[in-house]
Amino acid sequence: MKRELTYTDATTVLTSLIYGPKIYLDTRETSLAPMIIQYGLWEKWVTDVFLSLVKPGMTVVDIGANCGYYSLLAAQAVGPSGQVHCVEPNPILHNNLTRSFAINGYNQVKLHKIAFSAKEEEVTLYTPGYFSGGASIYEIPDSYTDNGAILKV
């Protein structure tokens, strides 16, 4: 299977999912990104169940959206009459999500740059450099955050 991808800068690639939507990915990420780049999908068995449940006109909330894989699939499935609320505090992922929704023309997606916590306050987001989906508002070992960032959200 031939896969097309375009590097948009030193750490970002544009590719597409086998289901159609285009997606921007951080090439430094070592979990989801390599699988999506190589195969155009992530955990097919979970994706199949997800797509069987999401219908046109529905509202879907994706908390901790990461690269937006499920948010993009949800936006396609709910169509223009539905809504997708996508929550992702990591600024790198948030930027890629914004670009992914724009290139696909998904106006039914509302992107929220917030982190969830037991109380409302400004928190520190610890982001590992190689596993962007592993960001946490709880302090994590330095070895886990190598090449990552500590951000206020």
Q: Classify residue 137: in a domain, yes or no.
A: no
Q: Classify residue 144: in a domain, yes or no.
A: no
CA–CA gap between residue 15 and residue 35 (Å, rounded): 12
pLDDT at 41: 97
Q: Classify residue 152: in a domain, yes or no.
A: no
Q: pLDDT tens digit string along 26-55? A: 998 888 999 999 999 999 999 999 999 999
Q: What are the Cα distances from residue 36, in Å, to 4, 42, 69?
A: 11, 6, 9
- Range of lowest pLDDT (58-72, 76-90, 111-125): 111-125
Q: Classify residue 151: in a domain, yes or no.
A: no
Instruction: List the CATH number of the domain containing 21.
Output: 3.40.50.150
Query: Which ranges constitute the DSSP H helices of the chain?
Result: 32-39, 44-53, 69-78, 91-104
Q: Is the pLDDT of residue 71 over 60?
A: yes
pLDDT at 150: 53
Q: Is residue 125 within 8 Å of residue 113, measured between CB atoms?
A: no
Q: Classify residue 75: in a domain, yes or no.
A: yes
Partners of residue 85 on adjacent β-strands: 61, 110
How many domains are there within the chain?
A: 1
Q: Is the pLDDT of residue 139 over 80?
A: no
Q: Classify residue 72: in a domain, yes or no.
A: yes
In terms of residue numbers, what domain contains 81?
A: 6-117
In percent, the amount of the chain with pLDDT more than 70 equals: 88
Q: CB 67: neighbour CB atoms within 10 A?
A: 26
CA–CA gap between residue 101 and residue 104 (Å, rounded): 5
